A and B are shown apart, each in its own frame.
Chain A
Amino acid sequence: DSGVTQTPKHLITATGQRVTLRCSPRSGDLSVYWYQQSLDQGLQFLIQYYNGEERAKGNILERFSAQQFPDLHSELNLSSLELGDSALYFCASSARRGGETQYFGPGTRLLVL
């Protein structure tokens, strides 16, 4: 158990809808990262937050947004969902700003029908 929690575990929704994924980092970790992994694909970095502030952006679509709250949990919002958004979404956390070990949560499996 990495100490990173993600909810929900599974999500089934329809095209055009909006969903929110939630992540709680390990105790004491200040950075949260979001990744997308489509079937048999590598990890695609989406975005990083450090202590409440956006620190780095990857290949995140404009339809997606995230935030990190004062208690350091984070939410990833996915809107106007398309079939191609079906994927595993992982959250990871690390102690500081980046570059060091990241600890991953179990992921949220999103299926868009």
Chain B
Amino acid sequence: QKEVEQDPGPLSVPEGAIVSLNCTYSNSAFQYFMWYRQYSRKGPELLMYTYSSGNKEDGRFTAQVDKSSKYISLFIRDSQPSDSATYLCAMSENSNYQLIWGAGTKLIIKP
């Protein structure tokens, strides 16, 4: 079993829909959680960064961490075709440990 599990998709939704992307993990010591967006053949870019549990909102994006369930989510509101990309989750125990990456979910927003 991988430390971080992420459904590879593709996930296809119509424009304007609310998108929910998820990762599950097995290491209860993870405290730092990140979401990256990667457009085709480009470098991943950081979208959201959260520490420990709770929610964080940035524009149309909301990151949620549920440590009791070992589950993190990224919600995208009012999805746009420009949101079509691969979304990767990453997490670590602390600043001295490596980031552990999910495999990425490919998201397609249909106009």
Contact = CB atoms under 8 A, between A and B. Distances in A.
Contacts, number: 59
Band of interface residues on B: 20 to 34
Interface in A1-57: 2, 4, 42-43, 45, 48, 56
Interface stretch (B19-27, B60-68, B72-80, B89-97): B89-97
A99 B88 CA distance: 15
Given A43-B88, A104-B45, A107-B43, A98 B98 contact: yes
Band of interface residues on A: 20 to 34
B85 interface: no
Main secondary structure on B side of the interface with A: loop
Nearest to B94: A99
Given A42-B102, A45-B98, A99 B43 contact: no
Interface of A: 2, 4, 42-43, 45, 48, 56, 88, 90, 92, 96-107, 109
Given A90-B44, A100-B95, A107-B42, 19 more contacts: A42-B101, A42-B102, A42-B103, A43-B101, A43-B104, A56-B98, A97-B95, A97-B96, A98-B98, A98-B99, A99-B93, A99-B96, A99-B97, A99-B99, A101-B34, A101-B49, A104-B44, A105-B43, A106-B42
